[in-house]
Structure 1
Amino acid sequence: MRDQVELRAVDIDSLIGQDHPARVIWAYVEGLELSELEDRVKARENRPGHPAPSPRLLLALWLYATSDGVGSARALDRLCDSHDVYRWLCGGVSLNYHTLSDFRVGCADLLDRLLSEHLAALSKAGLVDLEKLAQDGVRIRANAGTGSFRREATLDRQMAQAKAVVEELKREVDADPEASNRRIRAARERAARERSERVQAAQTALAELKRKRKQLDDKGGNGKKPKEPRASTTDPQARVMKMADAGFRPAYNVQVASAAGQPIVVAVDVDNNGSDRGLMRPMLERTRARLKRFPRRHLVDGGFCSAEDIEWAHGQGIEVYCPPTKSRSGVDPFLPRSSDGPGVLAWRARMASDAGTAQYQARSICECIHARWRNWDLRQLTVRGIDKVRAVVLWYALTNNILQGHRLANA
């Protein structure tokens, strides 16, 4: 009788195998010192309030969900009730998607610290070489539509309309004595106020775009007639960028530094510039903050090639490996130029040698990290703003290192 209902006892620990990745992640989380998160919990024993879920549980859930391609708090909440792996991680603890969502974007500092500590442990065990790093960037689709971008005149008009609506709704709320209508109008007033705040943020972003364009014009421009700048009212920090398929869409430029020849993330950064040029130095400074030293060698592709950055790196004792840009006039790019400094001269000679070419080949492994993240469904972001995007990218970086470090340790 298929319509019968049966009640069966379930051994939660038997829901997954002994070598399941969820056990690897839980073993990692169990050994962490998370007092900074646990001290934030206000609902304690013998005090009013619902017991808060353990930060270890939330951390483990999001780490495994990241490796499983789950990027939505609502989807994760449903899986915690229906999927055996997530039920095993929860151990019978009930959660809600608000808690999961807030935790995902609210602990970027913790994730950054954990990434540093895990990287140090891998280095101490001799599993990763941090003397030679590779850097690569990828554009990730932003959580904003192309139609949300507005020009200055449109933003000014929308701002005036939003302010007028807010003032009108405030007067209605104050004048209406009926509580139910007052609550409805208060909600409408709040929505209108949030709309005006988004438009104001877009105006601020537009002013920043104009400032950067003026700096470019002062340097001589790029030879192209500039279009009137626009900013998004959905995600003001997103920018329209050229994607891998040659299309143009709102996106963020996610930069990853990894151990050359190994898919281990050393540092991440998020930028809203559509070009990689000029982003090598900020990444090197970020890696110094994490490792307390610069790498000896740094491998990047031709999009990062900047004489100013190469000279700076040379002054810091860093050998840059980057293929020179081919000249349209057919001039050999490896030949010295009269304007070259000592760092650029050394770089040209280095890249013209067979030894330099051999060193540069290790850079391609860095792209495997982006491929793995795409397999984990990091194709379009579900959050808005650079800070939240960076928090999401840190989840992917830490998850990558935990699982890859486990493979290296057991190889």
Structure 2
Amino acid sequence: MLAQREEPKKKSTRSKKQTTKTNEKKKAKKKERRVSTTDPEARVMKMGDGGWRPSFNLQFAQDTKENFIVGVGVTNVGSDKSQMLPMCAQVLARTGVRPREWLVDGGFVKLAAIHEMEAKGTRVYAPVPKPRDEEDDPYARKPKDTDETWRWRRRMKTESAKRKYRQRGAHAELVNADLRAWRGLQQLPVRGESKVRTVGLWMALTYNLLKWTKLVPMPA
């Protein structure tokens, strides 16, 4: 049996101040936003396949009756948590009607946004996050809950709310799949947030026009 000789440990010559500076630099590097070298307005985001690529967060809002696109949003932030209120405001501006119900996935869940949506009369249907403690009831009122956010928690506990939320996939994912397969959403040919928004609007317009031709009978 071979045994490796243990070398005497050397005392570190680094001071506590140097170690603190190194740790601060590492933390700053972690917080540093990833920027694309080819598009200053894009951000390198983690993709569904696990890779990292320069991207924009392009979002669409649809009505659940006819599946028309009624809102187009573009940001260079990977998180969706701050996108619920701007998209709802856009839908209101475009249609003149405040949505009575709003279906979003768990990435959009932010208590402040849900509070404002509920306070203005829009019922939010979004999954309640699982608590860290498995024994904690996710539907029980939390210390940071307002009456509005607690109403959302109680609603999502019901079977009727869960059935309604399942409609989201049949609408949002259908539109996303169509845009990826037929409108070129997989890879954008432009740079810059304003141009990406223009492409998103053209995609939405094309999709809506094709929907319209199927719903409205053409003159003979």
> Do structure 1's residue 353 and structure 2's residue 158 form an aligned pair?
yes
With over 3 angstroms needed to count, the CA separation of the structure-2 counterparts of 1:246 and 1:263, relative to structure 1, is: farther
With over 3 angstroms needed to count, the CA separation of the structure-2 counterparts of 1:263 and 1:293, relative to structure 1, is: closer
Determine which structure has the larger helix proportion and give its number: 1
1:85-127 CA-partner distances (Å, limit 9, x unpaired):
xxxxxxxxxxxxxxxxxxxxxxxxxxxxxxxxxxxxxxxxxxx
One of 184, 187, 191 as aligned partner of 1:384: 191
Alpha-carbon distance in 1 for matches of 2:172, 2:40: 30
Indicate the residue corresponding to 2:179 in structure 1.
Answer: 373
Instruction: Give % identity.
Output: 43
Alpha-carbon distance in 1 for matches of 2:33, 2:48: 23
Report matched runs for 1:388-407 at 5 Å. Answer: 388-407=195-214
Gapped runs of 5+ residues in structure 1? Answer: 1-222
One of 102, 107, 110 as aligned partner of 1:303: 107
Max Rg structure: 1
| Contact 2:34-2:44 at 8 Å conserved across structures | no
Q: Which amino acid aligns with 1:318?
A: T
Please give the TM-score of this superposition, normalised by the length of structure 2.
0.80
Indicate the residue corresponding to 1:117 in structure 2.
Answer: none
With over 3 angstroms needed to count, the CA separation of the structure-2 counterparts of 1:247 and 1:342, relative to structure 1, is: same
With over 3 angstroms needed to count, the CA separation of the structure-2 counterparts of 1:327 and 1:314, relative to structure 1, is: same
Indicate the residue corresponding to 1:318 in structure 2.
Answer: 122
> Do structure 1's residue 232 and structure 2's residue 39 form an aligned pair?
no
Alpha-carbon distance in 2 for matches of 1:371, 1:320: 24
> Do structure 1's residue 281 and structure 2's residue 88 form an aligned pair?
no
Please give the TM-score of this superposition, normalised by the length of structure 1.
0.44
Alpha-carbon distance in 2 for matches of 1:249, 1:275: 15
1:360-392 CA-partner distances (Å, limit 9, x unpaired):
121112111110111123211110111110111
Gapped runs of 5+ residues in structure 2? Answer: 1-26
Report matched runs for 1:1-400 at 5 Å. Answer: 226-260=30-64, 262-330=66-134, 331-364=136-169, 365-376=171-182, 377-400=184-207
Alpha-carbon distance in 1 for matches of 2:138, 2:144: 13
CA apart distance, 1:309: 0.1
With over 3 angstroms needed to count, the CA separation of the structure-2 counterparts of 1:363 and 1:328, relative to structure 1, is: same
3-state SS of the aligned residue for 1:256?
A: strand
Alpha-carbon distance in 2 for matches of 1:409, 1:298: 27
- Select the structure with the greater relative contact order (CA < 8 A; seq sep ≥ 6): 1
| Contact 1:296-1:319 at 8 Å conserved across structures | yes
CA apart distance, 1:328: 2.1
RMSD: 1.8
| Contact 2:43-2:54 at 8 Å conserved across structures | yes
Tell me the matched-pair count: 188
Q: Which amino acid aligns with 1:308?
A: A
| Contact 1:242-1:249 at 8 Å conserved across structures | yes
| Contact 1:299-1:363 at 8 Å conserved across structures | yes
CA apart distance, 1:395: 0.9
Q: Which amino acid aligns with 1:400?
A: Y
1:332-361 CA-partner distances (Å, limit 9, x unpaired):
211111321011111001100111112212
3-state SS of the aligned residue for 2:30?
A: coil
With over 3 angstroms needed to count, the CA separation of the structure-2 counterparts of 1:350 and 1:393, relative to structure 1, is: same
1:26-53 CA-partner distances (Å, limit 9, x unpaired):
xxxxxxxxxxxxxxxxxxxxxxxxxxxx
